[in-house]
Amino acid sequence: MATVSVTATHAREFLSGTKQLIIDGEHVDAADGATFETIDPGTGEVLTSVAHGKKEDVDRAVRAARKALDGPWKTMTPSERGRVIHRLGDLIMENLDQLAELDSLDNGKAMAVAAAADVPLAADNFWYMSGWATKLRGSTVRPSLPYLPGGEFHAYTTKEPVGVVAQIIPWNFPLLMAAWKVGPALATGCTIILKPAEQTPLSAIRLGELALEAGIPPGVLNVITGYGDAGAALAEHDDVDKVAFTGSTEVGKLIAQAAGKTNLKRVSLELGGKSPNIVLGDADVPAAIAGAANGIFFNQGEVCTAGSRLYIQNDLFDEVVAGVSDAANNIKVGHGLQPDTEMGPLVSSEQFDRVTGYLKIGSDAGSRAVAGGNAIDGPGYFVQPTVLVDTTDDARIVREEIFGPVVVAMPFQDVDELAAKANDSVYGLAAGIWTKDLSNAHKLAARIKAGTVHVNTYHIYDAALPFGGYKQSGWGREMGEEVLSAYQETKSVIVQL
């Protein structure tokens, strides 16, 4: 095993020894004893070994979750459930430095970003969802039945947990995506099998430990680390009531197909994006430049909502492109644990190959890099922050999700034509608008088919705001009150008086 950097003071103890699965409140090896290595993408070196869960382990976890669904978790009052969920948020903040280091080491992101955004947002999600535990309620209805004149009835609805939930999360925000999934499932009384991405399993394991420490009963949150075969086993499992997935659209389609093969389980999907970020001619130019740079280069561009299609009205095109290019050239790229790092490596060698492959595709098609455009030599999976111009609407780099620090800048003149271009995508996850005319902003926001539209800002997420996409960006919403319905069944009760 490679030696962890001496600056990883909070994560070193956790990284010692093989990390096990968490099933029914216990740390256990995979049934066949298999393990895999998780890699520091900043060095390419091994961080630690992790249990490789497979179908038998999924079966064990599902049985534990089913047992817990009818155990102490079911009899716990909503107030008690809310308190332990809130306590989990507290524990996340109490372990902020360790969790930020784990995500930085495992994912590559700058620890400063993880400590300022990922971890506090994860804690806040649990705090927010803890309040909903006591506010889940049905309603009363007075039936009107013309075929039973004079009949008197008392009717009401109740909310019940959907049951055992499989949650499959991506590698770009490991802890935060787990919180987005786990929080509402806990608030509604579900039990969970959490399957993190094989590239970033560490903070999910730690989250499972903290859940037990918070007082969440054994079996309520089980953690299965492994590869796609574990995810497929969960999606197909006939004793799983719902699967929630965040990841690529291609895999999301496979998840949906697998879920329909057995028990027609509920499915929610948060998938890909190719989001337009639009700079109108009356925009505050410095703010638009900063927002466009943040929109694509935050988290190495490994963000499903990244503003990867930058549309700039003609009069401002050269100025904004120059400004975003200057910002790109001045980003401090380095290992995530270095204190001055602003952008870390891509998560894996596979993602490095994907992004550099798209850079070649763009170059071969005639695009020009105003900034970046190349890999960075040395250990680790680093790519330069890149601004591309001279492309066409049908180019692959314009239409396909790259998921890296690569923005394609394109001029436009007519806003009506721009709205059509912005919507000319199979995705509809997010968008940005930069303008001083808020009337025009509201009008354009109404025309854009996206689940989130930012105006004079970008990358704003809040636990109370629903998040999700149109078209092939997914089914359903994360966060906010709206997500709760994804984890509940509604029952109608009718009593004749």
19: number of Cβ within 10 Å: 23
Please list the residues that pair with 40 across neighbouring strands. 45
Catalytic: which of 101, 304, 401, 478?
304
The answer to whether 282 touches 291, Cβ cutoff 8 Å, is no
Q: What distance in Å separates the CA atoms of residue 161 and residue 212, rounded to the nearest whole number?
A: 20
- Cα 180 to Cα 1, 79, 187, 466, 474: the distances in Å are 32, 21, 12, 11, 15
- Active site residue: 270, 302, 401, 478, which one? 270
DSSP state of 215: T
Secondary structure of the chain: what % helix, strand, coil (to 5)? 40, 20, 35
CA–CA distances in Å: residue 19 to residues 208, 223, 346: 12, 11, 23
Cβ proximity of 288 and 307 under 8 Å = no
Gap between the Cα atoms of 348 and 244, Å rounded: 24
Q: Let me know: does 183 contact 211? Beta carbons within 8 Å.
A: no
**Has 13 been annotated as catalytic?**
no
Contacts of 105 (CB under 8 A, 6+ apart): 4, 8, 11, 15, 40, 42, 47, 202, 336, 337
Q: What is 201-246 written as a DSSP string?
A: -HHHHHHHHHHHHHTPPTTSEEE--B-HHHHHHHHH-TT--EEEEE
The rounded distance, in Å, linking the Cα atoms of 380 and 346 is 8
Query: Quick check: is 304 catalytic?
Result: yes
Query: How far is Cα 141 from Cα 368, in angstroms, rounded to an integer?
Result: 63
Question: How many Cβ atoms are within 10 Å of 83's Cβ, its own excluded?
Answer: 17
Catalytic residues: 270, 304
